[in-house]
Structure 1
Amino acid sequence: MTQRAISPERVATLVRDATAAPSMHNAQPWRFRYFQGSRTFHVRADLGRTMPHADPDTRALHLGCGAALLNLRVAVAHGGWYPVTQLLPDLTDPTLLATVQLTGFGSGESDLATLYPAIHQRHSSRFPFEETEIPEAVRTALSDAARLEEASLSFATAWHLQQVLELVEEAEARNRTDPGSNEDLATWTRTGAPSAQSTPDGVPEYAFGPHKLGGKAPVRDFAGTRSVPGRTATAFERSPQLALLSTSRDRLEDWLHAGQAMQHVLLLATLEGLSSSFVTQALEWPDLRWPLRDPMSGTGHVQMVLRLGYGPKGPDTPRRPVPEILDIQP
């Protein structure tokens, strides 16, 4: 079977789809290289975009790159190819996280293609959600999506939910007085109106959402101690719906699986009409991350806490220009 050549413009479109993925503080810690001869993408970590305090071991960086990898797989499947994916193909090169080779047509991962419309619809929403409970059938579908990517997803309830909220509250209290946390936040947030000189990364002021005035939803205040003129304050949901994404181990490979699972869940949630945001505060403190785990089994490593619900969609946030992150080789 003759393989169709892929134009540089099509390659750039696939990378643009990949980079619609979320990353911690929208740091976008990824780079891509495409080899025309073998029709293979290299997904690489951009270690110049680490967060020394919030992510010293680069776990969150790997989750973000894993999310971009899942988007790439979805976009490739949507284009009719089969994405042959290998994680950590060269252990001597720590920045090479995965390869994705485009082979054949009529993808064996055709189910992924159905997620494609959500790639550019999904945005983090830091607005109040409704108190409407997510149906059990939808929760089960989201858990099944995580399982396909070698991770598990469970919704915290009863005393476990209260424990998670208390751990997040403790983390937020630490962050308010921690110089390292404030430095990371200052580096990756943008105040003021967007302009031609605005950087194409980080969390812009218009995506901060309103200041929380009551409610139990754990929403990070990206304004920190800064005053944002014209910003409103409102009450958030009293019964937040939090889902914990976990892996059985805690290695580089597991972080990449978790990132793919996280994005698979988020894309499906978007198609189901759900909005989402991230609850990473307790994950940034090693002694608070461990108690987040499954209280029944006492095992597993929590990689992400997702806040899900019915509410306003979040705004689009900036992305780095594709020519800055894509290198095409013969």
Structure 2
Amino acid sequence: MALVRDATAAPSMHNAQPWRFQYSRRNRVFHLRADLRGALPHTDPVLRALHIGCGAALMNLRVAVAHEGWQATTRVLPDPSDPMLLATVTLTGPLGDKDDPAALYPAVHTRHTSRYPFAEAEIPMSVRTALVDAADQEHVSLSFASGWHLQSVLDLAREGEARNLTDAGAAADLDRFTRRADDTRPATEGVPEYAFGPLRRIGKAPMRDFAGGKTVPGRPTADFETSPHLALLTTSRDRPVDWLRTGQAVERVLLRATLAGLSASFVTQALEWHDLRWPLRDPMSGNAYVQMVLRLGYGPPGTRTPRRPVQDVLDIEP
């Protein structure tokens, strides 16, 4: 079904795609469930990143439904006895005058994570304001790190990356969801070698090495930006509902950024370590929990990564 194909264009950590959909024709209801095939047991033990990825897919589904002219009611975590049922989206009738999500649809399949250098160029205030507003529509705060706080976030990301490169559990999660050129596994998930991006020669952009510190023959090096633009998405609490809100906010921000000509990548290294996550926050902010860090800028569009076939993630009921 085209709507689910649109939903699964969403990003997820290591492109693990931790979602599954059920659709009831009779009730015109989509059920979004967590798919533990996409869980990262060491890197994401409490399933926070899983919820964020599923929230991003939920946002894409909402956008696609509106694009098709449907009004929908979305409920997150509708059944306390079934925590793996993350959301329901019920098609309730023709779309009314309010079609805000539909305007984001052109970016659904052109948004890709870019692991390339960005230009040393400012992001106009009007664009920054639009991204702040996009996050706010999902009840999540977005702010751009600057000054000493930016340097602190960069230092924490670098520390997280260093730990990941020497930690056996993190390496196992990464190895499971990366694909080398000679890999014989089906290319339906994970980050393939062609999407690793170049190795950083100089610059301060906090890039993950998807090769895990190993040599990739023919992989280029590049100079990355010295003053990266990092946006932090934060919530006042740290519950599964907040993680789902964050995922929807992340995707809404990324779609809006794509339409504005921006590229983006994820900076999650420090978020993967409990003792590094708390210091990420700006103590001047009233929000206590950093849920996501995005690197934004003007640069090459990202590389498309594989997705599971729709028939592998969708069950249709009469």
TM score, norm. by length of structure 2:
0.98
Q: CA deviation at 1:297?
A: 3.0
| Residue matched to 1:303 | 291
How do residues 165-314 of structure 1 correspond to structure 2 at under 5 angstroms?
Answer: 165-192=154-181, 198-297=186-285, 299-314=287-302
CA contact (8 A) 1:125 1:276 kept: yes
| Residue matched to 2:63 | 74
The equivalent position to 2:150 in structure 1, one of 156, 161, 164, is: 161
CA distance in 2, matches of 1:204, 1:188: 8
| 2:311 is equivalent to residue 323 of structure 1 | yes
Q: CA deviation at 1:316?
A: 0.7
The equivalent position to 2:6 in structure 1, one of 7, 13, 17, is: 17
Q: Which stretches of structure 1, 4 residues or more, deviate above 6 A after TM superposition?
A: none
| Residue matched to 2:32 | 43
CA distance in 2, matches of 1:180, 1:248: 30
CA contact (8 A) 2:42 2:169 kept: yes
How do residues 48-59 of structure 1 correspond to structure 2 at under 5 angstroms?
Answer: 48-59=37-48
Q: CA deviation at 1:106?
A: 2.3
Deviations 1:33-69 (A, max 9, x none): 0000110000000023211111000000000000000
Amino acid at match of 1:291: P
Q: CA deviation at 1:249?
A: 0.6
CA distance in 2, matches of 1:150, 1:83: 18
Q: Which runs of 5+ in 2 are unaligned?
A: none
Deviations 1:233-280 (A, max 9, x none): 111000000000011110010100000000000000000000000000
Amino acid at match of 1:87: V
Q: CA deviation at 1:194?
A: 7.6
CA separation of 1:17/1:308 partners in 2, compared to 1, >3 Å: closer, same or farther? same
Give 3-state SS (helix, strand or coil) of 2:296's partner. strand
CA distance in 2, matches of 1:306, 1:139: 13
CA separation of 1:205/1:132 partners in 2, compared to 1, >3 Å: closer, same or farther? same
| 2:50 is equivalent to residue 64 of structure 1 | no
Q: CA deviation at 1:83?
A: 1.5
CA contact (8 A) 2:19 2:33 kept: yes
Q: CA deviation at 1:299?
A: 3.5
Of 245-254 and 105-114, the range deviating more from structure 2: 105-114
| 2:117 is equivalent to residue 148 of structure 1 | no
CA distance in 2, matches of 1:302, 1:215: 24
Q: Which runs of 5+ in 1 are unaligned?
A: 1-11
Give 3-state SS (helix, strand or coil) of 2:172's partner. helix
CA distance in 2, matches of 1:138, 1:97: 31
Deviations 1:276-305 (A, max 9, x none): 000000000011000111221364211000
Deviations 1:134-175 (A, max 9, x none): 001100110000000010100000000000001111111211
CA distance in 2, matches of 1:302, 1:238: 23
CA separation of 1:286/1:108 partners in 2, compared to 1, >3 Å: closer, same or farther? farther
CA distance in 2, matches of 1:163, 1:298: 18
Q: Please give the root-mean-square deviation of Cα atoms over the aligned residues, in Å.
A: 1.2
CA distance in 2, matches of 1:92, 1:323: 27
| Residue matched to 1:119 | 108
Give 3-state SS (helix, strand or coil) of 1:114's partner. helix
Q: CA deviation at 1:227?
A: 1.3
Q: CA deviation at 1:95?
A: 1.0
Deviations 1:46-105 (A, max 9, x none): 023211111000000000000000000000000000110001111111110000001111
Instruction: Give the length in aligned residue pairs.
Output: 318
Identity of aligned residues (%): 65
The equivalent position to 2:77 in structure 1, one of 61, 77, 88, is: 88
